[in-house]
Amino acid sequence: MTTPLDSTSSDRLRKVGAEMVGTFALVFAGCGAIAVATQHPDMLGHGGVSAVFGLVIMVMIYATGHISGAHFNPAVTLAFATIGRFPWREVPLYVLGQVAAATLAALLLRSVFGADANLGVTLPAATLSLWQAAILELVLTAFLMFVITAVATDSRAVGHLAGLAIGGTVALGALMGGPLTGGSMNPARSLGPAIESGAWSTQWLYIIAPMAGAVLGAMIYTLIRCDESDASSDDAAGCC
């Protein structure tokens, strides 16, 4: 996963196209797994759905990270721009492409599974207040963005394992948060099914909380990281 600082106009369509492919795959595979698990509960289950979300993120990072940076998530794009790792002028293009691709994926899933299928619209569990759900989404997204920032911006991280680390974090967030909030951590992943189904009652939560959490996670890593020059030559564990 990379964080391109700038691009020419000739590159922007390719980058946005790569973002759309990755985000489409995320929603089609992840929310499609929810539909399969609902219709065939003995075949996938919650663990299987969480694994699908993590796996699709992992493989699409390896497939498109060298093209667009493999954000697939408006919160990630915003966070990278906030810490100076992505140009602000490209944020609207990335976000529009991500949301459009998520919506197209949800529409295609509806045509495959039917009007009554569960396509993974994210809603807080009845046991949670909206603020509890918002805090959960914020914290899960902060953990995710902390990992993304580490493997995408720090040369000491093992770059070729970025997809595994990020995909694993997505799967962990889905495992823990799925029964409570849907474990979204991604406004595009939530908006796609919401736009298709018209379920808008709590979607503000899945826009604001992940974006705040992503910025928080990126800023925390930026604060605690240190330059390679700060590390002593005989301190293999780090710079502290």
* Residue at 36 is within a domain: yes
- Say how many domains are in the chain: 1
215 vs 238, higher pLDDT: 215
* Residue at 239 is within a domain: no
* Residue at 1 is within a domain: no
Q: What is the pLDDT of residue 198?
A: 83
pLDDT digits (tens, 9 = 90+) for 70-108: 999 999 999 999 999 999 999 999 999 999 999 999 999
User: Using an 8 Å Cβ cutoff, are 49 and 178 in contact?
Assistant: yes
**pLDDT, the chain, mean:** 89
* Amino acid at residue number 57: I
* Residue at 109 is within a domain: yes
Task: State how far the Cα of 2 lies from the Cα of 71, in Å rounded to an integer.
Answer: 9
Output the DSSP codes for 130-190: HHHHHHHHHHHHHHHHHHHHHHHH-TTS-GGGHHHHHHHHHHHHHHHHHHHH-----HHHH
CATH number at residue 48: 1.20.1080.10
* Residue at 153 is within a domain: yes
- Of residues 71, 78, 60, 62, the one with CA closest to residue 98: 71
Q: What is this structure's pTM?
A: 0.89
* Residue at 234 is within a domain: no
Task: State how far the Cα of 101 lies from the Cα of 79, in Å rounded to an integer.
Answer: 20
* Residue at 193 is within a domain: yes
User: Using an 8 Å Cβ cutoff, are 2 and 86 in contact?
Assistant: no
In this prediction, residue 165 has a pLDDT band, given cuts at 50, 70 and 90, of very high
* Residue at 238 is within a domain: no
Task: State how far the Cα of 167 lies from the Cα of 13, in Å rounded to an integer.
Answer: 25
232 vs 139, higher pLDDT: 139
Q: What is the pLDDT of residue 233?
A: 36
pLDDT digits (tens, 9 = 90+) for 113-154: 987 788 889 999 999 999 999 999 999 999 999 999 999 888
In this prediction, residue 156 has a pLDDT band, given cuts at 50, 70 and 90, of confident
Range of the domain at 214: 9-113+123-225
Query: 226: Cβ–Cβ under 8 A, 6 or more apart, which residues?
Result: 238, 239, 240
Task: State how far the Cα of 146 lies from the Cα of 166, in Å rounded to an integer.
Answer: 10
Query: 236: Cβ–Cβ under 8 A, 6 or more apart, which residues?
Result: none
Q: What is the mean pLDDT of residues 218-222?
A: 96
Q: What is the pLDDT of residue 144?
A: 98
Tokens representing residue 137 in the block: 């989404």
Torsion of the alpha carbons at 5, 8, 9 and 10, rounded to the nearest 10: -120
